[in-house]
Amino acid sequence: MMATILITGGTGMVGKLLAEKLTDKKYTVRVLTRSPKKENEFAWDISNNFIDEDVFLNLDYIIHLAGAGIADKRWTPKRKQEIIDSRTKSTGLIFQKIKELDIQLKGVISASAVGYYGAITSNKKFTESDSPAKDFLGNVCHLWEKSVLDFEEIGIPTTIFRIGIVLSNKGGALEKMKTPIITPIASGKQYLPWIHIDDLTNMFVYSIEKKLKGMYNAVAPEEQTSYSFSKLLAKKTKKLFLPIGVPTFLLKLIFGEMSIILTTGSRVSSKKIVENGFTFKYKNLEKSLDHLFKS
């Protein structure tokens, strides 16, 4: 009998593909969503502390992807709170229900982000044992992970993936980058930790099948900077590449504080997940872009 898996954020870009892959492998997949439309979708409302309890029936795993988009809106104080609450309160609600209903889960696997290491550009290569940064992104990820680790306290194995920029041909960051003229951002020297959506979704499946535990960076082994990434993207999309970066001051004017996610970027190691037996299908950006633009 294959496991039953609940995905929060299952209607998003990553969640949809992950649900398809798990279904293809004969897992039973359930999705929590604010407006259920399909048979396997169940309602929840975080602001009113509500979850349809039928979703927990004979449940084995929870994959927690829900969270308001970091780059969707300007970071007003209200938006910043929404970004934190959408992650921590959703986790808290699930945790409360699991305890209340005494559900014996085999595991909880959650998304986090490389923002854990902060909005900084340096030569340091971050690994899973590094501390969270003391900026907004670092704090968001730290609080998010802390709420997930509550499951460990009640004996449920937890796995957390700190995810880089997800490359997909169905929206997301890549869609926004494919402008008529492609340029690097700011200095162009900041790193862009990235991962192909196939590798990311495979990583979640691998985590269940190999019973992974702990923190893992979900980024491709090949490093790219804003400059090298933009140059290759322009080549692959046959667009004009302008090597002069969009000035930082201009990005601050347009995006406010949120511009730091564009103008800074850290080097992040994928060594731990590889040492745990995971094989990347798309190790380098060229192969990834070739695949995404032909499919």
Which candidate, 265, 260, 8, 262, places its Cα nearest to that of 111?
8
SS3 at position 29 = strand
**pLDDT tens readout for residues 189-239:** 889 999 999 999 999 999 999 999 999 999 999 999 999 999 999 999 999
User: How open is the CA angle 163-74-120, to the nearest 5 degrees?
Assistant: 45
pLDDT tens digits, residue range 52-73? 999 999 999 999 998 888 888 8
pLDDT of res. 259: 66
How many Cβ atoms from other residues are within 10 Å of residue 47's Cβ?
Answer: 9
Query: Residue 75 belongs to what domain range?
Result: 4-294
pLDDT for the residue numbered 120: 76
For residue 181, name the pLDDT band (cuts at 50, 70, 90): confident
Residue located via tokens 């007003």:
76
Note whether 137 and 150 are within 8 A (CB): no
- The answer to whether 107 touches 211, Cβ cutoff 8 Å, is yes
pLDDT in tens, 76-99: 999 999 999 999 999 999 999 999
Q: Does the model's pTM come out above 0.85?
A: yes
Q: Are 73 and 79 in contact (CB under 8 A)?
A: yes
SS3 assignment, position 282? coil
β-strand 107-113 against 158-163: which pairing, if any?
parallel
Q: How confident is the model at residue 283 (pLDDT cuts 50, 70, 90)?
A: very high
The upper half-sphere exposure of residue 135, i.e. CA atoms within 13 Å in the direction of its Cβ, equals 13
Q: CA 191, CA 264: separation in Å to the nearest integer?
A: 7
Task: Please state which of the ranges 36-45, 126-135, 172-181, 249-258 shows the lowest mean pLDDT.
Answer: 249-258
Residue 27 clears pLDDT 90, i.e. is over it: yes
User: What's the pLDDT at 51?
Assistant: 95
Question: How far apart are the C-alpha atoms of 281 and 250, rounded to whole Å?
Answer: 37
- 246 pLDDT above the threshold of 90: no
Please determine, for residue 20, whether its predicted confidence score (pLDDT) is greater than 70. Answer: yes
Q: How far is CA 81 from CA 35, 58, 60, 67, 77, in A?
A: 23, 34, 31, 12, 6
In eight-state DSSP terms, residue 76 is -
Q: How far apart are the first and last CA of the chain?
A: 33
pLDDT tens digits for 212-224? 999 999 999 999 9
CATH of the domain at 212: 3.40.50.720
Summarize pLDDT for 95-139 with one digit per residue, the tens. 999 999 999 999 999 999 999 998 777 788 999 999 998 999 999
In angstroms, the CA 117 to CA 88 distance is 18
Residue type at 127?
A: T
- Residue 228's SS3 state is helix
Sign of torsion over alpha carbons 126, 132, 138, 143? positive
| For residue 141, pLDDT beyond 80 | yes
Band of pLDDT at residue 263, cut at 50, 70 and 90? low
- Confidence class of residue 295 from pLDDT cuts 50, 70 and 90? low
Q: What is the pLDDT of residue 264?
A: 73
Number of domains in the chain: 1
